[in-house]
A and B are shown apart, each in its own frame.
Chain A
Amino acid sequence: MSRLAATLTIACVLGSALLLIVLNQATPPGSAAHVSTYAVSLAGKYLSYAMLALAVDLVWGFAGILSLGHAAFFALGGYAMGMYLMRQIGTRGVYANPDLPDFMVFLNWHELPWYWWGFNWFPVAVLAALLVPGILALVFGWLAFRSRVTGVYLSIITQALTYALLLAFFRNDMGFGGNNGLTDFKDMLGGISLQSDATRCGLLLATAILLSAAFLLTRAMVLSRYGKVLVAVRDAESRTRFLGYRPERYKLVAWVVSAMIASIGGALYVPQVGIINPGEFAPANSIEAVIWVAIGGRGTLSGAILGAVLVNFGKTLFTGALPELWLFALGGLFIAVTLFLPNGIIGLLPRRKDAAVDEPEQPPVLTTSEAAAREVTS
C-alpha cells in the first residue's frame, strides 16, 4: 500500500468524522446542512465495525487465518465497556441500589461478583477490554496454531468459540445481564451524559482517531519484515518451517493484536449504540465481518475499512425499506464481489500492481562491484 493510499485512508476517516461533527455542532437543527446526532452515532457505529473489519483483515488477508469468530472479541470489548457504564449508573437504576446493577438486584443477588470489581474505574475497563480478549486469543491461538490446525477446521473452531460465548453470556447466572445484556447507560468519565450531542460527537471523534491508530499499527506490521514472513506463511507455510521459522509464533502475534483491535472496536461501539447483549456473539455477526472485508478488498487494510463502512451504510438504507431481504442482498453482493471483483471494491481503484503484499522495499543496487566477489562462500 502506497503512502498516498494510507494518507488518503486516514484523511477520509478523520475528515468525514470531523465534517459530521462540525455539521452537527455548528448548524442549527432544521437547517439543510444539519447532521442529526443520530447520524453522528451511526457513523461512530460504522467506524467501530471498521475496526472489527481491520482486525479480520490482518489475520485473514495477511496470515490466511479465516476467522469466523472475530465478533466474539468485539463483543468482549463491548461487555468490558458495558460493565463500566453499568457501574456509572449508581443509584439511578430502577432499584436505586448503590452496590448492584439492576439485573443483579432482580436476580436477588446480594453482592457484586468478583469479576465486576474495579469496573467503576475507566482504566480498569480499558485494561479488561485489552487483556481479556488478548489472553483468550493467546490461549486459543497457541493451542490451535501449535497443533497446526489450519483452513476450514480452524474456521470451524472459531465459530465454536463465539457460539460457546454466546450460550454462556445468555445465562443469567453468568452475571452479565443474560438475555437482556447491559443497557440503560447514563454517563461516563465522571458525569458526561451519553445522551448529549457533544458526547456523541466526542465518541465519534475518539472512534475515528483510534481507528486511524489501529490502521497505522496494522500497516506498519504488514509492511515490516514480520509482515513479509506472515504473507509467506499464508502462501507456503511449510516452506517457512524449512527455512527455520516457527509459523505458529508469527500467526499468534497477528492473532492477539487482531483480537485486541476488534475488542477496542467493541468498546467504542457500546456507548454509541447504548446496549450490549449476547446477540453480538452470534456466529452470523462474525461471518458478516468477513463479508465486509471480502467486499472492500481482502489483504488491503484500507479495503477492510471501506467495506465495513459501505456495507453497513447499505444495510442501514436497505433495512429501512426492506428489512427481511437484507441477508439475501448481502449474500448476493458477496457472491457478486467474489465472482467479479476478486480484489474487492478497492481493487477497482488505480493502484500499484500487487494488492496483497503492498509495495516491496525497493532493493538498492550495489554501486560497488564487491558483491561480485561474494559468491556462495561468505
Chain B
Amino acid sequence: MTAIGPTSDTVLYVNGVTKVFDGFRALNNLSLVLRPGEMRAIIGPNGAGKTTMMDVITGKTRPDTGQVVFDADTDLTKLDEPAIAQLGIGRKFQKPTVFEHHTVWDNLLLSLAGDRAPGFALFARQTKAERERIEGILRTVRLMEHRNRRGGDLSHGQKQWLEIGMLLAQEPKLLLVDEPVAGMTDHETAQTAELLREINRTRSVVVVEHDMDFVRALGVRVTCLHEGSVLSEGTIDHVSADPKVVEVYLGR
C-alpha cells in the first residue's frame, strides 16, 4: 500500500472492521481515523467493543473483514503482536500488567526500545544511555522514589503509571491506553490526565475511558462506540449532547 489515497496523513486508519465471536458482532463495520500527533478519547458502554478494537490494532485478534493501516502504509492485519509492537505501537491493558517479580527499574529496562533477540539479551550490559533514559521515564511517571521496589509491591495507581512508563520506554509512535484511571483516586486521575497530555506532545494516543470528568480534562476529540461501531464523534460537548449517546450511554 502506498501513502496516497485515504490513508495518507494518518497514523492509524481503521476502515470497515468487523469481528464476530461465535455469532456475536463485537466490532461491526468500525471505522476510525487518527491523524499524526492526535489524541483521541474513546467512550462507550461496557461490551461496546473498545478493548476488542485495541486487540485488532495490536495483532491479538484478527479482524474478519476491514483494513487496519498504521502510519499510512503498514497493513497491521498481517502482523503478530511482537511485530506490531516493534513497529511502534504500545499498549496499556485494562487490568494493569507489570512484571511483578521485577523491580520498577527492571520493568522499564526490559521495555526500552532495542534489540529483542535472546542472543542480544544474553550478553547485554546496561549502558549509560539506557540508565539516563530510565531515569527520565521514572521522573515522567513520578516513580523516582520507587525504582527499587518490586512491581508487585506497588499500589494500583503506581502500577498503572509504571505500565505507562513501560509504554514510553518502548518509544512508540502510537499509544493505546485502555481505561487508565479505573480504580484511581481523584488526585491520581488528574495527574494521569496531565501525564497523557504531556505524552501527547510527542506521540499519538488513543485512550479508552469511562470517566467523563477525565475525558473532559483531556480536552480532545471523542468517539463514542456502541455495539461495535461508531455512534457519535466530535468534541466532548457535542458527543455528550448527542441524543443517540444520551440514550445508550449517558442517560442510564
Contact = CB atoms under 8 A, between A and B. Distances in A.
Q: Are chains A and B native binding partners rather than an unrelated pairing?
A: yes
Given A232-B102, A363-B134, A376-B136, 9 more contacts: A225-B109, A225-B124, A226-B121, A238-B81, A241-B82, A371-B132, A374-B136, A375-B140, A376-B202
Contacts, number: 128
B153 to A, nearest CB: 10
Contacts of B105: 360-361, 363
B90 to A, nearest CB: 8
Contacts of B166: 243
Given A225-B109, A228-B106, A374 B133 contact: yes
B91 interface: yes
A228 B136 contact: no
B170 A235 contact: no
B211 interface: no
B214 interface: no
A328 interface: no
A356 B117 CA distance: 23
A362 B131 CA distance: 11
B142 to A, nearest CB: 12
Interface of B: 58, 60, 80-82, 85-86, 90-91, 93, 97-103, 105-106, 109-111, 116-118, 121-124, 126, 131-137, 139-140, 147-148, 150, 166, 168, 170-171, 198-199, 201-203
Contacts of B171: 378
A306 to B, nearest CB: 22
A370 B132 contact: yes
Interface string A238-257: 11111111100110010000
Contacts of A378: 133, 136, 171
B139 A224 contact: no
A245 B170 CA distance: 11
B236 to A, nearest CB: 24
A378 to B, nearest CB: 6
A192 to B, nearest CB: 37
A221 B122 contact: yes
Contact-residue bracket for chain A = 35 or more
A256 to B, nearest CB: 11
A253 B122 CA distance: 10
A229 interface: yes
12 contacts: A226-B122, A232-B102, A236-B100, A238-B60, A242-B91, A250-B121, A360-B105, A366-B135, A372-B136, A375-B198, A378-B133, A378-B171
Nearest to A364: B131
A363 B91 contact: no
Nearest to A239: B97
Contacts of B81: 238, 241-242
A361 B136 contact: no
Contact of B82 (A224, A244, A357): A244
A275 B18 CA distance: 63
A366 B131 contact: yes
A245 B132 CA distance: 22
B123 to A, nearest CB: 7
A55 to B, nearest CB: 18
Nearest to A366: B135
A244 B198 contact: no
A81 interface: no
Given A366-B131, A376-B198, A242 B85 contact: yes
A337 B226 CA distance: 52
Given A244-B82, A375-B139, A235 B118 contact: no
Interface centre among A241, A242, A366 (most CB of B within 10 A): A242
A232 B97 CA distance: 11
B86 A244 contact: yes
A370 B150 CA distance: 26
Given A243-B111, A253-B118, A377-B202, A235 B101 contact: yes
